[in-house]
Amino acid sequence: MGCVILLDGQIIGEGFNETELRSDPTAHGEIVAMRRAGARLGAYEMRGATLYSTLQPCGMCCMASIWAKIGRIVYGAERQQVHSSYFENRHLTTEDYLRDAYRADLSFQGGLLADDCAKLYLGPNDDVPPEEQPNL
């Protein structure tokens, strides 16, 4: 999972999934990028920023984007293009999390270079042993 955050055409944060590296279940690429952006800005608010991710953000990352006041989320691979182990639930999508947010100024777009991004992940029909699935 890769992520970059831009504000006014400048990269303010970038990250990749560091959950195993840091022994931190919250160290998803988006969260790592938001932490770096916040450190660079000296603030947690990122109004007007765009978050780009190779995969549809999970619920945690969607909520963090709302709290960070990110203005736009753009992601590549759609949930149905990758193995279910990348998500914490069966049915809720990025749209479900963002649709009811109090933030009327937050927009999102999915499917940017979706096929190319999906190749970075396990496929929906790949055989993954349960002990290797982080969501089980």
Residues facing residue 14 across a β-bridge: 4
Active site residues: 30
Q: Do the beta carbons of residue 37 and residue 71 sit within 8 Å?
A: no
Helix 59-67, helix 29-41: angle, nearest 10: 20
